[in-house]
Amino acid sequence: MPLFWKLLCGVWVAGVIVAAFLGVGPAVGFRAPEAARILFFHVPTAWLAVLGFVLSMLHGIHYLHRRQLEHDRCSAVAAELGFLFCLLATVTGAIFAHVQWGAAWNWDPRETSIVALLLIYGAYFALRSAIDDEERRAALSASYAILAVLPMLFLIFVLPRVVDSLHPSDTVQSGGMSPSYRLVFFAALFGFTLLFVWIYRLRVGVERLALRREG
């Protein structure tokens, strides 16, 4: 990644951290108004978990078309990063759920889907480690990554309509946030996405080196 973006990422995320704690006042309408600041970190991690998942699927499709091992490695790297952020989202979510709703786990639709995502990532890595042949591993894990998108679509889009959710999914769209919160919120999304891209490209660089050494 060019120097400018790396520096921007460092300064931007530092700025988001300062703004999240000092730039905005306590949130209104929460049981623990100060603790609501965790949302500036929780929501981006959840978004990156999904981003990693989608990236992994797209590289999987690419691999099945082109049959280049580099795409398979990209798919695995995206899944690794997605898994990391998925764990972070689960932990931060459980902490905040404990503070806000009284219990760390409620099987709310969003919580169900993050658990499904964790399990999918786990199954993906288990599948990868169980196949020795490199090209077969690439094709089969790509197929699984594509297949696993379907239940996620059900869990994210269909299930919340059938079961009531505790998560305020409309707050962001309908302007329930005050302008200063909204600003920090989207800045956090942008900053963490930059961080994701940086780490992703580093890992892909390492994988390229490994492929070169092997091939």
Return residues touching other proteins (CB under 8 A): 1, 6, 9-10, 13-14, 17-18, 20-22, 34, 64, 112, 116, 119-120, 122-123, 126-127, 130-132, 135-136, 139-140, 142-144, 146-148, 150-151, 153-155, 158-159, 162, 198-199, 202, 205-206, 208-209, 212-213, 215
157: nearest Cα among 83, 67, 50: 50
Query: With contact defined as beta carbons under 8 Å apart, do 39 and 55 qualify?
Result: no
Q: Which of 28, 162 has the CB closer to other proteins?
A: 162
55: nearest Cα among 85, 99, 19: 85
Name residues whose C-beta falls within 8 Å of residue 206's C-beta, 6 or more positions apart in sequence. none
Q: Which of 147, 166 has the CB closer to other proteins?
A: 147
Query: With contact defined as beta carbons under 8 Å apart, do 54 and 117 qualify?
Result: no
Calpha distance 172→46 (Å, rounded):
15
| Closest CB 123 distance from other proteins, rounded Å | 5
| Closest CB 142 distance from other proteins, rounded Å | 8
| Closest CB 175 distance from other proteins, rounded Å | 26
